[in-house]
Amino acid sequence: MAYWLMKSEPEVYGWEDLLREKTGIWDGVRNYAARNNLRAMKKGDEALFYHSNAGKMTGVVGIMRVVGEAEPDVTFTEVPNVWSVVKVAPVRQLKRLVTLAEIKAEPRLKEMELLRYGRLSVQKVLAEEWRIVVAMGDKKTG
DNA sequence: GCCAACGTTGGC
DNA sequence: GCCAACGTTGGC
């Protein structure tokens, strides 16, 4: 099973929206590197839901699962349609937000794509990085 | 709102 | 194929 991190601006589509919908279509990706990651996702993979562009609230809020593999993005209407979506469902919310500032401050996370290639909206996360971020989010403090 | 770090487009 | 100009993302 692989791990991922997927960004969305909460004002556009946030964790709360995914909770309400139960199953979300991750559409609107318009970057080839991000799209290739979408296409590499398999059912059962897990992804961190990251709120981007959210001021102090920027960071990882929850865990979701890939429940449907890549399909054409119908929000793109040109031919050929080169963009893809996946289906995701919430697994659980972390006990608290893991902010970008904390991730930056954690030496074991300094190789994360989130820090190395900040603008990529769909990223791969190593199992080790996953474990660390989730542990941070499940601790009440620190 | 600014701007760095990209990615994309198009002239040549 | 190169690269300048432009557009976008997203942190601050």
A119 touches strand B (CB under 7 A): yes
Is the bond leading into A10 cis (omega within 30 degrees of zero)?
A: no
Q: Is the pLDDT of residue A141 over 70?
A: no
pLDDT digits (tens, 9 = 90+) for A63-95: 999 999 999 999 998 888 899 999 999 999 999
A55 touches strand C (CB under 7 A): yes
Q: What pLDDT, on the 0 to 100 scale, is given for residue A79? A: 83
Report the alpha-carbon distance of residue A26 to residue A8 in Å, rounded.
9
Q: What is the pTM of this model?
A: 0.94
Report the alpha-carbon distance of residue A117 to residue A128 in Å, rounded.
18
A1 touches strand B (CB under 7 A): no
pLDDT digits (tens, 9 = 90+) for A95-121: 999 999 999 999 999 999 999 998 999
Q: Closest Cα partner for A8 from A54, A63, A56, A73?
A: A54
Interatomic distance A32 CA / C3 C1' (Å): 21
Tokens for A17? 């929206």
**Nearest amino-acid residue to B8, taking CA and C1':** A31
